[in-house]
């Protein structure tokens, strides 16, 4: 074929196809991506530096259009709002979360999200290193909540009728309509409560 007068690939189409593959199968590969767009594998490299950049663009797509907190919100309301919005974004594409863990965040919108968290934490009175610590905790929680959504049906290979505390917990939780959502809201309030307590002691 050689060069067409109109490009066959756009970065946007690439990201859309990658996200579709991730939603369907939990992963994507360049051969399958190329097949879906109807193009040769190697031509992808004319638009993107490789797999890692595609993943980073997927991160951007997922978190795009996160709503901003209302301007009058207090620092803890800002945190609740932002963390929930972040988690909601990943709830729409849970299987993307595991792929994005351990990759440096480059997407400007996601950086802006962490910047808003940092500002709220400074407003709470936390000093620089504490802001970083709090950020790490929030990040763990947010990533964990996203991973939780993509988790295998049973996180633990535990015997249902074994009468242990873990079996009881797993069993009771399985009867909830939205197990992961319930756990997220429970954890969010605990986290905010702990942060408020700590801020009050500064």
| Residue 30 interacts with DNA (CB under 7 A): yes or no | yes
Binding segment toward a second copy, per CB under 8 A, in 43-51, 62-70, 74-82, 152-160: 152-160
Coil, strand or helix: which one is 100? helix
Which of DNA, a second copy, none does 181 bind, CB closer than 5 to 8 A by kind?
Answer: none
| Residue 173 interacts with a second copy (CB under 8 A): yes or no | yes
One residue of 15, 19, 22, 28 binding DNA per CB under 7 A: 28
Q: Is 1 exposed, middle or buried (0-12, 13-18, 19+ CB in 10 A)?
A: exposed
One residue of 10, 49, 74, 182 binding a second copy per CB under 8 A: 182
Q: Any idea which residue has 């480059």 for tokens?
A: 106
Q: Two tokens at 29?
A: 């590969």
Contact 116, 70 (CB under 8 A): no
Interatomic CA distance for residues 172 and 32, integer angstroms:
40
Segment holding 200, helix H or strand E: helix 179-200
Coil, strand or helix: which one is 4? coil
Site pattern 103..122 for a second copy (x: CB under 8 A): xxxx----x--xx--xx-xx
Q: Any idea which residue has 């709220």 for tokens?
A: 120
| Residue 177 interacts with a second copy (CB under 8 A): yes or no | no
Q: Which residues bind DNA (CB under 7 A)?
A: 1-4, 7-9, 28-32, 39-43, 45-47, 50-52
Q: Which residues bind a second copy (CB under 8 A)?
A: 98, 101-106, 111, 114-115, 118-119, 121-122, 127-137, 139-141, 143-145, 147-148, 150-152, 154-158, 164-166, 168-173, 175-176, 179-180, 182-184, 186-187, 189-195, 197-198
């Amino acid at each position: 074929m050689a060069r067409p007068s109109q490009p066959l690939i756009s970065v946007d189409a690439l990201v859309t196809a990658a996200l579709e593959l991730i939603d369907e199968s939990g992963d994507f590969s360049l051969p399958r991506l190329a097949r879906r767009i109807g193009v040769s594998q190697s031509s992808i490299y004319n638009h993107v530096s490789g797999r890692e950049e595609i993943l980073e663009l997927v991160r951007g797509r997922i978190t795009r259009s996160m709503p901003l907190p209302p301007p009058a919100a207090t620092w803890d309301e800002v945190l609740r709002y932002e963390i929930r919005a972040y988690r909601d974004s990943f709830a729409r594409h849970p299987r993307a979360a595991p792929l994005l863990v351990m990759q440096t965040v480059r997407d400007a919108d996601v950086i802006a999200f962490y910047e808003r968290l940092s500002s709220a934490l400074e407003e709470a009175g936390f000093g620089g290193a504490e802001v970083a610590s709090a950020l790490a905790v929030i990040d763990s929680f947010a990533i964990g909540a996203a991973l939780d959504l993509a988790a295998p049906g049973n996180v633990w290979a535990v015997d249902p009728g074994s009468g242990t505390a873990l079996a009881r917990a797993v069993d009771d939780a399985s009867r909830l309509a939205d197990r992961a959502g319930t756990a997220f809201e429970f954890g969010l309030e605990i986290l905010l409560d702990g942060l408020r307590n700590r801020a009050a002691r500064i």
